[in-house]
Each structure stands twice: as C-alpha cells, then as structure tokens.
Structure 1
Amino acid sequence: MERKIAAGDFSLKEKIALACRFLADEGHAMSLAGQISVRNDDGSFWTTGFAQGFADTTADNLVRVNANLDVLEGDGMANPGARFHSWIYAARPDLRAIVHTHPPHASAIAMAGERLIISHMDMAMLHDEIAYLDRWPGVPLANEEGEIISTALGGKNAILLVNHGVLGAGATLEEATFFLASIEHAARMQLLCRGAGYQPIAVDDVLAADAKAFMTKPKFIQATFDYWCRQTLRRYPEVLESSRRG
C-alpha cells in the first residue's frame, strides 16, 4: 500500500478521513461528539456525517454541505454540531479547515477554566495562539453558539472551550489538525507535571516565539501531517477512496 501511495499523495477527502482516524486513535473520539470540516472555494465544505464517529470515517462516507448544512454531495446528513463552523468561516476568510473534539486532557484543562502554560519545546507552536471561551453557551447547534465561539476565537487558530472541549483551525487541514493535536499533547504534559506535584515553568517569550516560527512553517506542518497519515494508513487502508484501494 505504501509503495502505491507516496507521502502526501492523498485526495482532500482521504486526508480528512486519515485525520479522523488518527485523532480517534489519539483519544479524541470517545463518543460521536466532534467534527472536522474543510471549506471549498465555492463556500461549501466537506464534513463528517451524522451518527458517524471519527473511527468510522472513510473518504467515501463524507458529505459536502452548504452553510445551512444542506447536503450537496454524499449520503446522509451532516453532524448538526458543525453548524458553528459556518460562523467561524464567515468571520475568518483566511481559514479553510476546522477540527473540534472533546479529548480528555484538553477537556480537563478546559473544565477547570485553566490556561495552558507554554512550558516545553513541544508546546511552542501554541505560543500566543490559544484563545479561551470562559462561558459554555450550550450544545453548539444554533446560531447564538456559533457567534459566541467565532467571536472568542478572534484572530487565533486554537481555542479552549470551558466545560466543553477544544478547537483547532487553519489555512489547511494539515494546520488545523496540527494545532488541535498539539493542544491535547500539551494539556497532557501539563496535567502530568502538576499531578506529580510540580509547577510547569513557562518558556521565555522570545524563545517560545522563535520556536513557534520554526515549528509552524508549512513544510514542518506538512511533514508532521504526512507522518501521521503514513502511520494511520498502515492501520486503516480502508479509509482511501474505493477507486484507490487494492
């Protein structure tokens, strides 16, 4: 399989499916909560279907919807929780992808109303990149929740949602997934440090900014995402479009 598919040689739908499976394996998909969406040039976006978990996702069972979540392509219906994605896209024309999940460690930080402390090199990509929503507006199914979340996100690419979960966004799916996965990893390290009885030591702001500039270069993010895809494809070759299997 790997000999047939070179690193990075995936369709958009395949990349979405691979991101879903990777995040499921990383503990982001205990239930059906959470969505991934990628916006097209015409304003529509690909997303996961209703009652479809990240661990079920393949390139063939995604749906393409408009801002009202009307299905334009694919079978079934969109996850209604994806409605607030439309608000973020409207507020941020620079964003093309959104990933929202309820992973255990980032959710634990969020439910306590804590802030992530950039205290390790592997957190540096998140320096000055995380917004915080300190009031849970309820299940994000209506326009009010979309407006609240998009306003709180502002110009940043990640947000911790109190009593809720986490969201990563980016100019590409690779970038959004990178930020989202990095937040969960950072939250786990912070909780481990505090659980051992220690206080995380914040990285110097200048050094953190320098490290972030390197770690958020498009080639670095792409290489990281490709690595995740290769890992995931070995475990789940069925995620590819049916015409590419075999």
Structure 2
Amino acid sequence: MPETLNLSKSQIVARSLSQMNAELTEHAWTARQKLALTCRILFDGGHDSGLAGQITCRAEDPDTFYTQPFGHGFDEITESNLLVVDQDLRTLDGKGMPNPANRFHTWVYRARPDVNCIIHTHPLHVSALSMLEVPLQVSHMDMTPLFDDCAFLEKWPGIPVGNEEGEIISSALGDKRAVLLAHHGMLVTGKTIEEACTLALLMERAARMQLIAMQAGAIQPIEAQLAKEAHDWTSTPKRHAVNFAYYARRALREHADCLK
C-alpha cells in the first residue's frame, strides 16, 4: 500500500515543500538580468502603457536602487541600460534619468525594510477596475496569493511625483504586498524580484477575472481559512523562483536581446 495515503494534509504539505526545496533549482541571474527579464515579462503580460509605470529594486549600496531610464518602454529595457539612482533620483550609474514618479518608491522602501522590489504599472484591467473605486476581490484559488494581501487606496491623490503622494501610497500599502490605486493602477512589492513579478501578473489577471465575474452576477467570497492556507502554500521563495523561471523562458523566446 502506498505510504502517503494515510498522511494528513499538513503532513503532505510539509513533505511537498521539502521536496520542492530539495529538488527544484533556481537560475543564477543577476539582479540587472532579473529586472530586464521582468520588464519584458510585464510587457507581454499587458502591463505596458506607454511610458507609464516603473520597476525598481534595491541595489548593492545603501539607499540606492535600480530602475529603467525614463523614455524607454518595458519592451526596450536591457540589463545594460538600467540605471542606479539614489533616493533623490540622481543617476549614479548609467545613462539617462529615472521616471520622476519613482519618488514614491523611495517612501515605500523607507517604510518597508522587508521590500526589495517594487513594480508599479497601469495595466488595462487593473486600470479599468480602479475607475470603479472598489477593492480587488480575491475569490478564486489561483488568485489567493493576493488574499488579504492587497490594500486599496480609494481616492486618487494626483500625480505621484511629490512627497505627499509618497506618504499617502506607502501608508495605504501598509504591511500588504500589493495595493490597488483608484483611478490610477497597481503597486506590488516583493522580498525578491521573482516575488514581485509573480504578484504583478496575478493582479492584472485577478482584475480581469473580477470584471468578467461582475458582469455575470454577484461575486461570492471564498472561505477565509482555506484562502489563507492557499496564500501561504503558494507564497514561498521557491515557488516564486520557479514561476519566474517559467515566465523568463517564455519571454526569452521573443526577447533574447534583453540579456546583453
């Protein structure tokens, strides 16, 4: 008789996590390479909106971070054209200037030492949902990484280039990993680039699903305890790394130039 048929769910979960950590390997991309790949992944995932949106991650020196040069779309970012900037948005390495809206990233980093990557975009379905001034509703298993982990800023504070907007957005985010910004877009954070990338793709899909479901009827909630269990099951560093590796392989088939 198979030895696992009498195991409890918690035992099987622990066994599976141990197996994933032991057997699944992670790709040794640099931070620059991961950011360039993420830009192409986001472009393919519908997150492009002209020059709107930024991605940043903490760099090696304290109080500095990598970001894309202003004037470049996500589909034009390579590991070689990324910038290193300080908290005053002065370019320390690279050619060009950052998006002035990066200012509110500095406020998030200051408030959240656990955050190492921030993605802010205006994808179509998230932006459409933001116009309704309603929170993101997580009511499907695939979206549970965002369950009780997506805040909501219900009023638009204006263009996010001032310190006031930085304080408002970082405060609205609180201790969550994501926030839906009314009349604006979305912001997700991660301890790693892989985590932030995964959540960004999920959030746009979740908004699209919510808009479709709202046309058919009232969205029914899922049981909170089960949703929290699914949230924790899918929110591990190994899962994030494996998800990212798949998205990266897919992106590299079309965007091999991003790693140069």
Q: TM-score range by the shorter chain?
A: over 0.9
Q: Deviations over 1:119-164 (max 9, x none)?
A: 1111111111011111111111111111110111111110000010
Q: Deviations over 1:34-72 (max 9, x none)?
A: 000001242210001111111111111110000001011
CA separation in 1, counterparts of 2:205 and 2:139? Answer: 12
CA contact (8 A) 1:46 1:63 kept: yes
* Secondary structure, counterpart of 1:210 in structure 2: helix
What amino acid is the match of 1:238? Answer: D
Shift in Å, 1:106: 1.1
CA separation in 2, counterparts of 1:137 and 1:187? Answer: 21
CA separation in 2, counterparts of 1:44 and 1:28? Answer: 25
Shift in Å, 1:33: 0.2
CA contact (8 A) 2:39 2:77 kept: yes
Identify the range of structure 1 (96-105 vs 199-208) with the bigger mean alpha-carbon deviation: 199-208
The answer to whether 1:169 aligns with 2:189 is yes
Q: Which residue of 73, 83, 95 maps to 2:115?
A: 95
Q: Larger radius of gyration, structure 1 or 2?
A: 2
* Secondary structure, counterpart of 1:203 in structure 2: coil
What amino acid is the match of 1:207? Answer: L
CA separation in 2, counterparts of 1:236 and 1:183? Answer: 23
Shift in Å, 1:7: 6.0
Moved over 3 A (4+): none
Question: Residue in 1 aligned with 2:7?
Answer: none
Identify the range of structure 1 (228-237 vs 38-47) with the bigger mean alpha-carbon deviation: 38-47
Q: Deviations over 1:177-226 (max 9, x none)?
A: 1112111111111111222x222221100110010010101111111011
TM-score (norm 1): 0.93
Pairwise mapping of residues 64-143 of structure 1 onto structure 2 (< 5 A)? 64-143=84-163
CA separation in 2, counterparts of 1:30 and 1:10? Answer: 27
CA contact (8 A) 2:194 2:240 kept: yes
CA separation in 1, counterparts of 2:70 and 2:160? Answer: 14
Question: Residue in 2 aligned with 1:33?
Answer: 52
What amino acid is the match of 1:78? Answer: P
* Secondary structure, counterpart of 1:212 in structure 2: helix
CA separation in 1, counterparts of 2:209 and 2:91? Answer: 40
* Secondary structure, counterpart of 1:235 in structure 2: coil
The answer to whether 1:219 aligns with 2:238 is yes
CA contact (8 A) 2:59 2:84 kept: no
CA contact (8 A) 1:7 1:230 kept: no
- RMSD of aligned C-alpha atoms? 1.2
Give aligned-pair identity as a percent.
44
Q: How many residues align?
A: 235
What amino acid is the match of 1:80? Answer: P
CA separation in 2, counterparts of 1:122 and 1:33? Answer: 27
What amino acid is the match of 1:79? Answer: N
TM-score (norm 2): 0.88
Question: Residue in 2 aligned with 1:8?
Answer: 27
- Gap regions ≥5 residues in structure 2: 1-24
Question: Residue in 2 aligned with 1:190?
Answer: 210
CA contact (8 A) 2:134 2:154 kept: no
CA separation in 2, counterparts of 1:210 and 1:183? Answer: 19
CA contact (8 A) 2:100 2:161 kept: yes
Shift in Å, 1:27: 1.0
CA separation in 2, counterparts of 1:51 and 1:40? Answer: 21
Q: Which residue of 71, 78, 89 maps to 1:51?
A: 71
CA separation in 1, counterparts of 2:229 and 2:66? Answer: 34
Pairwise mapping of residues 221-240 of structure 1 onto structure 2 (< 5 A)? 221-240=240-259
